Amino acid sequence: MSSKNTSGSFFYTLLGYVVIVMILALITLIVGLSMYWSGFLRLMVSVSRDTAVKWIGFIVYTPVTFGLVVRVSRQRWHNKVFWWTMTSVLFIHIACFLAILRYAEHWNLLYSLVIFMIEGPIILTVSNWMFEKFGRKHHSKRGAAQV
């Protein structure tokens, strides 16, 4: 293996992490702007502690969970099916969590932690299943050489 190839892989690894951080920052910005426009942040002073804890858990654990799954699945970053699966699961996650937050009266950060500890392996399993089912057909040229 030449040193040129090693430096190239370092560049792509660094670029991949930068892209992931940018995507997570964009998601956080979207959630934050949604909260601002909905008036949630303006009402933060008058909301209950439970409501604040619900949103803090959601905002903290969502990027952590998806970031860990993406990091563990690094070998699949060049596969379109992986990214479509992650995007779909993220939208399902957000919809389900918003429903939970709407109807749960009392909330603790421990509840969020337990949900995300269970959800992380499920997301990884779904991602693996989708890759095995559809990913090998729809890989990029670079991914084809590595698979």
pLDDT of 126-144, one tens digit each? 998 988 888 766 554 554 4
Residue 132 CA to residue 81 CA, distance in Å, equals 10
Global pTM value: 0.63
Those residues with Cβ within 8 angstroms of residue 60's Cβ, 6 or more apart along the chain or in another chain: 112
Residue 113 CA to residue 11 CA, distance in Å, equals 34
Q: Where are the domains of the chain?
A: 3-139
Q: Which of the 8 DSSP states describes residue 106?
A: S
pLDDT of 2-43, one tens digit each? 445 555 677 777 777 788 878 887 887 787 777 666 665 555
CB atoms near residue 129 (< 10 Å): 12
The number of C-alpha atoms within 13 Å of 86 and in the hemisphere containing its C-beta is 27
Instruction: Give me the numbers of helices (H) and strands (E) for the chain, helices first please.
Output: 5, 0
Q: Which of the 8 DSSP states describes residue 133?
A: I
